[in-house]
Amino acid sequence: MTTSGSTRRRFMFRALSVAGAAAASAMHVPIALGREIGAQLARISGRIIMRSDPGYGQWWASMSWYLFMPKRYPDLIVRVKSEQDIFHALAYARENKLKVTVRSGGHNPAKAVLRDGGMLLDLSRLRKVEVDAKAGVAWVEPGIHGEKLVALLARQNLDFPAAHTGIVPIGGYIMGGGLGWNMPQRDIACRSILAAEVITADGRKVTASAEQNSDLWWAVRGCGPGFFGVVIRYKLQVYPLYQAMTKSKYLFAIDKLPLVCKTLEKVAAVKKEQLEILAVVGRFYPPDKPPAERDLVCAVSVFAFANSSKEADALMAPWSTSGLPAQSLMKREDRVMDYELLYAGQETDFSSPNRTAVENIWTEDVSTGLQALAKKMLDDPPPSPRCFALSAWGFSNTREDATSCVSTPAPHYLSWYLMAETGDHVSVNRKWMDESVKLLQPVARGRYVNEIDPLHYPQHVADCFSTESWKRLAKLRAQYDPKGLFYSWLGHEGETT
């Protein structure tokens, strides 16, 4: 039932190979800045890549994970090595009236870091971590990958709700909210930001926390790619590491999906916070065949964050005693895991570079939403057999929080991911996504900013925040970035694809 261990290696190879994809298309229309930029930015110790450079195409392609890239080209890319590099880069941008977008790792599926013109400020090499185990905090730079962070913390029996995909860097993930491991107990990850060091549009370095610049701290906690500054370090609350994290996984025939959903509704209503439940509909069975030859099934993964096998059994009990596990096609139960194992062999991660359309909703009726997507996948299959829908049951226990701008307005989360194997699939996926978004609108109660397409659905950005928070963010942008140095959310600047 488990995916081969080579899956992760293949995914890493694919992710690295993105740097060479479609590079030739970016080699045209050089800007006239030429060598002059190098002289003016000579104080920067990092790498400066100009639109006129021979290697620009490969650098441009490497700024986003994805194989199918939008035709949006920054005038220059600055990969910084230090805090001072950021000050120099922003000063140059102000002097030359260049708008700025900020990158931590390029995982955002909307490819929000790629804009036409302006400066792309790449923070991916800033990866330092300082842990104060006694205080239960860590100062973290934005480029550190989630799996690296939790590995460092685990050495001191500490933990953090990093992304479910290990090679997602912390910066963009946590800035946009962060749906991480053990979220039902530890909340959306941005609410673990105790403070942040921010370089503002006018070149000041400030600390944002509950005590200092609290309005800026509120915005850092969930604003996403529309943030109006550069966060260079996060002070994160860290947590005790569970010593017996336990996973059980099951595959169910798709005709059992109504029963699976009915059972999960009951389990989600009574489960403890330390139990995380994910149900994914995709072509996963039988696992030894290529995706195109597999059946559409529902994979249910149940995670107990526990300190002993006895505690894990008690957490699992609402699910394990439901009678449903016995009806699975395949199962692998009660595996005690560390994060290395949790991150290994996720087939849906391997397909990440092929994503061309991604959407999500917060919902009170995840059963209806998941079954509607499954029916559409059966009746009108998307072009790639690797497309899937993911549901998280009882995932959010906090609706609104006055100290963060992010909104999690319903208990369940549902997202769906359309892959393309060839360029011809992209337009088909767009039509399929338009239809599915309309189909699920009746059960949508909000959205998550890290997994939307704001260029195609500009209204979905506001759906990620309460009405009051949306208005407050606009006022803070006008206050902290009155001249518009930083790009706003994609789709709110007049860009076209």
The secondary structure element, H or E, covering residue 347 is helix 347-350
Domains of the chain, CATH where assigned = 6-122 (3.30.43.10), 129-241 (3.30.465.10), 245-460 (3.40.462.20)
Could you give the CA distance from residue 246 to residue 281 in angstroms, rounded to a whole number?
A: 22
Lowest mean pLDDT among 252-266, 283-297, 347-361: 347-361
Task: Say yes or no to pLDDT of 255 above 70.
Answer: yes
- Report percent pLDDT > 70 for the chain: 91
Residue 348 has what pLDDT? 78
146-202 pLDDT, tens digit each: 999 999 999 999 999 999 999 999 999 999 999 999 999 999 999 999 999 999 999
Question: In terms of DSSP H, where are the helices of 380-497?
Answer: 424-440, 459-462, 467-480
Could you give the CA distance from residue 371 to residue 404 in angstroms, rounded to a whole number?
A: 32
Sheet bearing 355-363, strands edge to edge: 330-337, 245-253, 295-304, 275-285, 388-393, 412-419, 355-363
Lowest mean pLDDT among 2-16, 247-261, 318-332, 462-476: 2-16
Work out whether strand 119-122 and strand 76-79 pair parallel, antiparallel, or are unpaired: parallel
The secondary structure element, H or E, covering residue 318 is helix 309-320
Sheet bearing 193-199, strands edge to edge: 129-132, 137-140, 230-237, 193-199, 205-209
Q: Is 350 helix (H, G, I), strand (E, B) or coil?
A: helix
Looking at residue 242, the DSSP 8-state letter turns out to be P
Work out the pLDDT band at 40, boundaries 50, 70, 90: low
Residue 475 has what pLDDT? 97
Using alpha carbons, select from 226, 12, 233 the residue that is nearest to residue 123: 233
Using alpha carbons, select from 97, 78, 25 the residue that is nearest to residue 484: 97
Residue 495 has what pLDDT? 43
Which amino acid, one-letter code, is at 264? L
Work out the pLDDT band at 312, boundaries 50, 70, 90: very high
Structure-model confidence comparison of residues 8 and 307, the more confident one: 307
393-446 pLDDT, tens digit each: 999 988 789 999 999 999 999 999 999 999 999 999 999 999 999 999 999 999
CB-CB contact of 450 with 359 (8 Å): no
Task: Say yes or no to pLDDT of 243 above 90.
Answer: yes
Residue 469 has what pLDDT? 97
Using alpha carbons, select from 477, 485, 480, 484 the residue that is nearest to residue 90: 485
Task: Say yes or no to pLDDT of 54 above 80.
Answer: yes
Rounded (to 5) percent helix, strand, coil in the chain: 35, 25, 40
Stated pTM of the model: 0.93
190-237 pLDDT, tens digit each: 999 999 999 999 999 999 999 999 999 999 999 999 999 999 999 999
Tokens representing 113 are 């870091």
Could you give the CA distance from residue 442 to residue 439 in angstroms, rounded to a whole number?
A: 7
CB-CB contact of 416 with 451 (8 Å): no
Residue 38 has what pLDDT? 53
Task: Say yes or no to pLDDT of 122 above 60.
Answer: yes
Residue 26 has what pLDDT? 45
Total residue count of the chain as it appears in this document? 497
Task: Say yes or no to pLDDT of 18 above 60.
Answer: no
Q: Is 130 helix (H, G, I), strand (E, B) or coil?
A: strand
Work out the pLDDT band at 37, boundaries 50, 70, 90: low
**Which residues make Cβ contacts (< 8 Å) with residue 425, sequence separation at least 6?**
356, 382, 383, 384, 419
The overall longest dimension of the chain from CA atoms, in Å, is 70
The overall average pLDDT reported for the chain is: 92
Could you give the CA distance from residue 193 to residue 173 in angstroms, rounded to a whole number?
A: 12
